Amino acid sequence: MSFQILWTPEAVAQFQELRQAAEAAVRKGRKTKPFGFFQQVEGCIRKLSAQGPRHSGLHSDPFSSLPNPLNPEEKVFESYAQNRTPGAYRVFWCYEPKQGQITLIAITSHP
């Protein structure tokens, strides 16, 4: 099942920051870590959209330390953009009230 991806302002800002860092790296003629980070986060979001959170590569699990901004009684989930990497990026999201929608809450590196 495919999902429509919705974004919180915070998630949009974090995604744009990653994109700008990746574009700056490309302008310098080097595809460095920021470029790779952006590609991996973008791939995670693409998988969430196309194949849903049950995609095995996403390792989606409930995350209890972040409140759901849409419905405090519902769970927030995290999906892996990276794995086995220090400071690996995670995408935090929740289900929308409407079926087939996911809202991205935050895109951050793992502490």
Strands, E, within 33-88: which ranges? Answer: 61-63, 76-80
Q: Render pLDDT for 72-84 as a digit per residue (tens, 0 to 9).
A: 899 999 999 988 8
Residue 81 pLDDT: 92
The greatest distance separating any two alpha carbons of the chain, rounded to the nearest whole angstrom, comes to 47
The more confidently predicted of residues 23 and 27 is 23
CB of 102 closer than 8 Å to CB of 6 = yes
Under DSSP, the state recorded for 21 is H
For 31-66, write each residue's pLDDT tens digit: 788 888 899 999 999 999 999 898 888 999 999 888
Q: In what order do the strands lie in the sheet with 4-7?
A: 4-7, 101-109, 89-95, 76-80, 61-63
Query: Cα separation of 81 and 62, whole Å?
Result: 15
Query: Model pTM?
Result: 0.90
Domains of the chain: 4-109 (3.30.2310.20)
